[in-house]
Structure 1
């Protein structure tokens, strides 16, 4: 099983996770990151780095977050790879603890 990025990343996109990924499996969208699950080696380094707590093993995703496996898979096919840490979104700290943000996900 691979890791997935969940709702906590929406409008945050800290990218701390990207800088520790040994396989460059992260993909970058306008206000969210996704993991290409075919490239993830399930090392958990990204999960430990995420300040929003948004990265989880697919098998241990928070209750109500299972649909993010499909979301990551679909978005990873659309978005380009991101291989280096970037500045977080300006509004990240404000959005970090907000729940129920799925409707804000931009593709």
Structure 2
């Protein structure tokens, strides 16, 4: 099983999760992080570290956000691995909890 970064990460992009990942499975895009499902070892460390609650085990992804399983897998192949914490996005607090952010996802 893998973990999945979901909607609430868009325009927040906190990287506390990256810092605790023992296998470097996070990849960073312009305004979102993804988890490589082939690299994730299901350690669960990232779940508690995410300050906006955007990471879920794949079996617990909230209804309506299942598309993020595909998005994580696709973009992990395109985006570079992130191995250390970086500053979150400038307006991250403003975006926490805003629903339906998928149209805001920047793929490149």
Question: Aligned residue for 1:8?
Answer: 8
**What is the aligned length?**
107
For residues 38-63 of structure 1, the C-alpha deviation after alignment (integer angstroms, 9 at most, x for no partner) is: 00000110011001100000111111
Aligned equivalent of 1:82:
82
> 4+ residue runs of structure 1 moved beyond 4 angstroms?
none
CA distance in 2, matches of 1:94, 1:76: 26
Structure 2 residue aligned with 1:94:
94
1:59-87: per-residue Cα shift (whole Å, max 9, x none)? 11111111110000000000000000000
Distance 1:102 1:27 in 2: 17
In the alignment, what sits opposite 2:51?
Answer: 51
TM-score, structure 2 as length reference: 0.98
Q: For 1:84 and 1:44, how far apart are their aligned partners in 2? A: 18
Task: Confirm or deny that 1:18 pairs with 2:18.
Answer: yes
Corresponding position of 2:68: 68
2-side partners of 1:61 and 1:44: how far apart? 14
The TM-score with structure 1 as length reference comes to 0.99
Q: Unpaired segments of 5 or more residues in structure 2?
A: none
